[in-house]
Amino acid sequence: MNLYLTKAGRLRRKDNTLSFEMMNLPEEQLINEEESPELEYMNPDQKHALPVETIDAIYVFNEMTFNSKLVTFLGQKKIPVHFFNYFGNHCNTLLPHAEQLSGDLVIRQSQAYLDNEKRLSFCRSLLDATFHNILSVLQYYQRRKSGLENEIERVKTLSLSLSECHSPDQMMGIEGNVRNVYYSAWKTWLGAPAKNFKRVYHPPDNPLNALISFLNSLLYTTCVSEMYRTALYPGISYLHTPQTRRFSLALDLVEPFKPIIVDRLIFRLLGHGEISDKDFRPHTNGMLMTEDARKRVLTAWDEQLRQTVDYPALKRSVSYRRLLRLDCYKLIKFLLEDQEFKPYRIKY
């Protein structure tokens, strides 16, 4: 399971497990990100024992105090820690020493990046699966709501143009056009929350953009955690340009999963009234999710990751989180054994 810490506090190693001690820190101090005299705010009545053996990753959404003993302990238990700032933006990840190492795989990753034909093959397969999953969502709502014929045809036409691309940048341009068409259709089933919707990133300018950015960050960090369990080197990517402060391979691998994990969760949260505009408030030039809303979203997100789907190749059902790791293994086979890379495709 994942552990989500939304309250300020101190995380400690205690009796060979974890203990979380809550801190009553004023909100204005959290927003200003000032160093706090934590002992003044510690609440001795709010202590929680956490079973370390059941934790796959820790997500920290508030001010947290810990020491080197805890870092060593988490490293021994192979538990990644993902840090988010007060505004819900992912800002850092603490990864234990690599669980698996393969110099040969890193060399193959580098060679594939330099081999234009192989790189384009990966990018084309990745986006083909992404567009398939987007089309699946559109076709699902076409059957329920109708009126999406034009959007479906435009996505199909843009998908065909992938074969004419000669660089990842050209493919990214098509991907941007597909998503613009896709986002323009959201108003058909979401109504008011998606009226005149336009994707804005830094900072998100409305509740829907804030929700998308937050959940995309969660998907990215989930992929980082799953990729850590493999021998893939996270800094070499193919569709996205390799970056110095991001695990850019995770940015590639999450693309097919955004429509089927992130977007469908958004449709459920907004469609069922579990999240609404009242759960957000303006801050500076962006939107800030309330703490209560963030807890509800995290609960729904964890449930979504644990949902299972039929996976014919293994002749059993697997969770959405497991699907991310299976795509990592497919990439490894693509690099080492020249097997065709076939990311996960949803079936409605």
Residue 74 and residue 142 in one domain: no
Domain that holds residue 133: 103-337
Give the pLDDT confidence of 120-178 residue by residue, as tens digits: 999 999 999 999 999 999 999 999 988 999 999 999 999 999 999 999 999 999 999 99
- Residue that the structure tokens 């089927």 belong to: 260
In a domain, 173, yes or no: yes
In a domain, 347, yes or no: no
Predicted confidence at residue 190, as pLDDT, reads 93
Predicted confidence at residue 113, as pLDDT, reads 96
Q: How far apart are the first and last CA of the chain?
A: 28
Q: What is the pTM of this model?
A: 0.91
Count the domains in the chain: 2
Predicted confidence at residue 29, as pLDDT, reads 53
- Boundary-marking domain end, from 66, 94, 122: 94
Mean pLDDT value of segment 329-341: 96
d(CA 230, CA 233): 9
d(CA 256, CA 103): 28
Give the pLDDT confidence of 76-125 residue by residue, as tens digits: 999 999 999 877 889 899 998 877 778 899 999 999 999 999 999 999 99
Residue 116 and residue 86 in one domain: no
Residue 75 and residue 108 in one domain: no
Long-range (24+ apart) CB contacts under 8 A made by 103-109 are 104/336, 105/231, 105/232, 105/233, 105/332, 105/335, 105/336, 106/233, 106/236, 108/335, 108/336, 109/232, 109/233, 109/236, 109/335
Note the Cα 114 to chain centre separation in Å: 27
In a domain, 342, yes or no: no
Residue 193 and residue 63 in one domain: no
Say whether pLDDT at 231 is over 80.
yes
d(CA 216, CA 89): 10
- Boundary-marking domain end, from 94, 122, 140: 94
What would the DSSP string read from start to end of 13-81? EETTEEEEEEE---HHHHHHT----HHHHEEEEEEEEE-GGG-SEEEE-S-EE--HHHHHHHHHTT--E
In terms of Cβ atoms closer than 10 Å to its own Cβ (0-12, 13-18, 19+), residue 19 is middle
| Pairing of β 280-283 and β 286-289 | antiparallel
| pLDDT band at residue 203 using 50, 70 and 90 as cut-offs | confident
d(CA 117, CA 127): 15
- At 190, list the tokens: 């979401």
Residue 161 and residue 240 in one domain: yes
In a domain, 343, yes or no: no
In a domain, 138, yes or no: yes
Residue 108 and residue 156 in one domain: yes
In a domain, 112, yes or no: yes
Residue 194 and residue 271 in one domain: yes
Residue 221 and residue 111 in one domain: yes
Residue 61 and residue 191 in one domain: no
CATH code of the domain covering residue 155? 1.20.120.920
CATH code of the domain covering residue 30? 3.100.10.20
Predicted confidence at residue 320, as pLDDT, reads 96
In a domain, 345, yes or no: no
| Pairing of β 2-5 and β 57-60 | parallel
Residue 79 and residue 152 in one domain: no
Predicted confidence at residue 35, as pLDDT, reads 53
Residue 231 and residue 298 in one domain: yes
Predicted confidence at residue 263, as pLDDT, reads 97
Identify the three-state secondary structure at position 320.
helix
In a domain, 284, yes or no: yes
Residue 119 and residue 77 in one domain: no
- Boundary-marking domain end, from 94, 127, 154: 94
Give the pLDDT confidence of 16-61 residue by residue, as tens digits: 889 898 877 665 555 455 555 554 555 655 788 888 888 999 999 9
Give the pLDDT confidence of 251-303 residue by residue, as tens digits: 999 999 999 999 999 999 999 999 998 999 887 777 889 989 999 999 999 99
